[in-house]
Amino acid sequence: MVELLAPAGNFISLRAVLENGADAVYFGLDDYNMRANAKNFSLDELKEVSKIAKDYGAKTYLCTNTILNERLACSLDNNLEDISSSEIDGLILSDIGLIENTVSSGLEAHISVQQNVSNSYMLKTLKKLGAKRAILSRELSLREITGLAKKSPIETEVFVHGAICMAISGRCFLSYGLYGRSANCGDCLQPCRKNWTLTYEDGEDKVINFSDVDEESFIIAPSDDGSYRTNFFSPKDMCMIEYIPELMKSGVTSFKLEGRARSPDYGAMVTGIYRQAIDNYNDNPLDYKVKDEWMEELKSVFNRGFDTNFYFNTPFEVSEDNQSKYIKKDMGQVVNYYNKVKAAELRIWDDLKIGDKIIIQGKTTGSITHIIDSIQVEGKPVVSVKKGSNVAIAIPTKVRENDFVYKLVERNADD
């Protein structure tokens, strides 16, 4: 049975992906992981993370995947006993020098994609060192992945959905060169995602396609100053939802979803869709069909457009910022939930009406998406209500006091 591995950037995201079917979760610890700008978890919070995951029967993997200097390596080594005592299952390591100490502490050693594991010789060496799993390089094709996974002496893991870095296995110096903030130490400011200006030294006012493939092109827009603007450093997001059968047959142990720095509703949606796809294939592999609504729902949350990365060819399309259909607007907070009547009282600071789609998020609640079908004000049913009120809405799933409420607003073309 393949493992569905989902990201958790905070406690709300943790609950959201577990509620939506994650078999395992991965998350960061301050100082040691590649998402320094995510909220992450403290050493003292790991026991709570482990307990929550175990309640769902899920495994827990802690990311320690930055380039470790001597100070950080020693610090991580000194904390291995405390990490192990929290009952976390394993560490995702970018530094193979810590495999032995990690395993000696009773933790699984999973080797990060930062190691760019691309061949069977590396897999055999990692086995000798004591590693249990390797996250295979993102630059491998599906054919190469299948060949490695089927004869690997250890477990293998691949990314199947989420953001893709412009650099090989994420090892990039662009952020450090421009801002002094190192991507390799988890502090990337993502200058690759910005809109760059493109100029030509010869002064010719035209765009040249240097590719041998006719349909390959950069997204280039002319500017008032005569230059061109482009996102050519920013690839589209990976999406493999249409190729679950091929992935399932590859022999890979774990399908990984990227997104620790993204919102809880993103984690909930993506995890839920891939859970459905995997379960549908397992239930009836011969008659498996991709549902059109899966792709539509994936497009409804943050994305830069979708591609299949290196699975089938060299990716060439570049992104144009967020292409989701909706904007998530902060609009209220839960005051109370009434179990007997399955209703929540909300304090709202934006207008609300029947048919609106909202998201409610909280540490225990996770992330719930709900379409408003009933509103009451002072016990009387209404069709809509203006901001600044307390309202009651019917909602079958329990929410909690102080949970955050967001309204999904359809994005305009200019947003």
pLDDT score recorded for residue 193: 77
For residue 366, is it left (φ>0), alpha (ψ between -120 and 50) or beta?
Answer: left
Q: Does residue 205 carry a pLDDT above 50?
A: no
Per the prediction, the chain carries an average pLDDT of 88
Q: Does residue 213 carry a pLDDT above 50?
A: no
CB 197 within 8 A of CB 47: no
C-alpha count within 13 angstroms, C-beta hemisphere, residue 317: 14
The whole-angstrom separation of Cα 270 and Cα 204 is 45
Report field, pTM of the whole predicted structure over 0.75: yes
Closest listed residue to residue 163, CA positions, set 302, 4, 317: 302
Q: Does residue 31 carry a pLDDT above 80?
A: no
Q: Does residue 272 carry a pLDDT above 80?
A: yes
- Long-range contacts, stretch 379-388, CB < 8 angstroms, 24+ apart: 383/353, 383/354, 384/351, 384/352, 384/353, 384/354, 385/348, 385/351, 385/352, 385/353, 386/351, 387/331, 387/348, 387/349, 387/350, 387/351, 388/348, 388/349
**Banded model confidence at residue 188, pLDDT cuts 50, 70, 90:** confident
